[in-house]
Structure 1
Amino acid sequence: MNKVLLILDGLQVPGYLMDAAANIGKMANCHIHAIFLNKAPIDPEYNYFFPNDLILVDNPLRGENIAAENSEIISATIQTFKDVSDLAGLSYTIDERNDYSLDELLELTAFSDLLLADAKSNFYEYLLSDLLTDSHCPVLLTKQTLEAPGKLVLAYDGSVSSIYAMRMFTYLFPQWKDVPLQVVYVSDHDITTLPEEKQVLPWLSLHYSTVETKVITGNRVQELANIVNADTSPKVVIMGAYGRKALSRLFHKSLSKAVIDTSNAAAFITHV
């Protein structure tokens, strides 16, 4: 991995996201391209229920004042990012723009190895789900510093896309080969083995020192959430095929949402 595209809400950047970028950049010795997005200010008078009342008070709220405050916050946030990155000895670029459209961000993903973002954020004009659906590179959403995952969880559904996601994760994070990997397959009928188990397990064993499987019957979304929340160790959940076909989008949207909303696990998502 040589380049990570880091997308941040310039006004609300959690410390764990900066630490995650620093930890990945240092571990992989890769370049970080950081974009601090900023919502264009809207004149508060247009959002206030009683705009005439603003005349009776010396109301200082104006679009230009909000823009100035936002600029100060973003400048302070960027300085914090510089401090964290310099301390970690990272190679990084801070983008001069903060008004990228969704299409422009998606174009940047075509020239990145990984998109890293906060699992809790949405970016005003578009949602994280928009980036997940159409990103041209794998996406890693996190609520943790990613310093040392305690477990990797592959949400395996028997498809080529889930194997592709695992392959991409393996290529991008070879440093985590000694982190225990759990392959989870949830079926709506009783089975005892993984699909293509004779192919999957030997292949995974070449990349990871510890591989265990869990085959269970039930609702895929609920069962995966239960497994991820079974203990408090930091985890990365790996899943594929978020977008492209409508049915695939619906299922994988609910799957990733369950992981993100109900746990502190990071979610690694990509599609063929």
Structure 2
Amino acid sequence: MKKIVAAFDGLKFSESTLAYAVAIARDHNAHLVGVFLNDMTYFSRSPYRVMADAENSYRNLETLEEEDAGTRRQAVDKFSAACSAAALNFSVHKDKYIALQELLHESVYADLVVIDAAETLNRYADAPPAHFMRDFLADAHCPVLVVPRTYVPVRSSVLLYDGEPSSVYAVKMFSYLLPVQSALPAEVITIRESDENLHLPDNALMKEFMKRHHNKAVYTVARGDADEEIPARLRMNDASTLVVLGAYRRSAVSRFFRESMADRLIRELKWPLFIAHQ
């Protein structure tokens, strides 16, 4: 039985994370863990403003804490009710310390983490992907399914392949962890440089591997700038397409100066992304 973690901000509960996680756990008879990142430094409103604006500042701060605790309890109840309705094997973790470190620790002991692309784990409206998401994806210890704001059942997949081991690793993890989704119609997309031929990298080896996991996959090989060409081609697909890609991990300096393909696709907030790196 696989262990899937659904990561939640209890103050901004993601219905989409819940829907994708429940569907995947049900499809694969997996144990689903709802991880609620209740960072003790995170409130729905600024505690400093609450204390500054109120005559009885400490009583109003207590009220804020009680309101937030109630909101977080409701989120846990919603998760538990959905899991029970789907007859899932599930559990709940309430992590109270620094959200990023807590979720990275949880990922060590998970097969897959499901998380909303728009998560910030703070009360501010950061443009996706927020710093929290960038840092988590770069250092996660298991594959991550980044989901859009609206749930759409997965009906097909696109596998991004550039001939590098990291892209093959992502396809492997997708096949091993989500066999139900990997059995759906699949397209392998490869973008070559303008001076390269249009052959699939390691053509014989890749197709031999794919025949065992995605034997009906179709292949698209084109020339162009991958950073522009891949998003453009994916826009031809609707939100029922799951995109598989690897190689998120980079040095901190590199992540600062050049965004990853995952960053670009997350910004679209349209497709679920299965991201795995070695």
Q: State the TM-score bracket (shorter-chain normalisation).
A: 0.7 to 0.9
Distance in 2 (CA, whole Å) between partners of 1:230 and 1:146 is 16
Distance in 1 (CA, whole Å) between partners of 2:59 and 2:237 is 47
Q: Select which of 86, 101, 104 maps to 2:84.
A: 86
Per-residue CA deviation, residues 131-167 of structure 1 (Å, 9 max, x unaligned), is 11111111110125363x2221111111001001100
Per-residue CA deviation, residues 149-193 of structure 1 (Å, 9 max, x unaligned), is 222111111100100110011000111243111111112214211
Q: CA deviation at 1:260?
A: 1.5
* 8 A Cα contact 1:150 1:234, kept in partner: yes
Q: Secondary structure at the match of 1:62?
A: helix
Q: Secondary structure at the match of 1:175?
A: helix
Larger deviation: 65-74 or 36-45?
Answer: 36-45
Pairs within 5 Å for 1:115-130: 115-124=113-122, 127-130=132-135
- The aligned residue for residue 270 of structure 2 is 264
* 8 A Cα contact 2:7 2:114, kept in partner: yes
Letter in 2 for 1:89: A
The 3 A distance-change label for structure 1 pair 244 and 46 is same
Pairs within 5 Å for 1:49-198: 51=52, 54-55=54-55, 62-124=60-122, 127-143=132-148, 144-145=150-151, 147=153, 149-190=154-195, 191-198=197-204
Q: Secondary structure at the match of 2:274?
A: strand
Q: CA deviation at 1:233?
A: 4.6
Q: Secondary structure at the match of 2:157?
A: strand
Distance in 1 (CA, whole Å) between partners of 2:91 and 2:258 is 32
Q: Secondary structure at the match of 2:227?
A: helix
Q: CA deviation at 1:19?
A: 1.2
Q: CA deviation at 1:200?
A: 0.7
- The aligned residue for residue 30 of structure 1 is 30
Structure 1 position 241 matched with structure 2 position 253: no
The 3 A distance-change label for structure 1 pair 195 and 122 is same
Distance in 2 (CA, whole Å) between partners of 1:267 and 1:214 is 19
Distance in 2 (CA, whole Å) between partners of 1:251 and 1:155 is 23
The 3 A distance-change label for structure 1 pair 19 and 69 is same
Letter in 2 for 1:25: A
The 3 A distance-change label for structure 1 pair 235 and 116 is same
Cα RMSD for the two superposed structures: 2.7
Unaligned regions of 5+ residues in structure 1, if any? none
Unaligned regions of 5+ residues in structure 2, if any? 124-130
Letter in 2 for 1:23: A
Residue-pair matches, total: 267
Q: CA deviation at 1:97?
A: 3.0
Q: Secondary structure at the match of 1:232?
A: coil
The 3 A distance-change label for structure 1 pair 137 and 146 is farther
Larger deviation: 38-47 or 23-32?
Answer: 38-47
Letter in 2 for 1:97: D
Percent pairwise identity: 27
Letter in 2 for 1:31: H
TM-score normalised by structure 1 residue count: 0.87
Distance in 2 (CA, whole Å) between partners of 1:64 and 1:179 is 51
Distance in 1 (CA, whole Å) between partners of 2:258 and 2:203 is 22
Q: CA deviation at 1:248?
A: 7.0
- The aligned residue for residue 201 of structure 1 is 207
Q: CA deviation at 1:236?
A: 1.1
Q: CA deviation at 1:105?
A: 2.4
- The aligned residue for residue 17 of structure 1 is 17
Larger deviation: 39-48 or 226-235?
Answer: 39-48
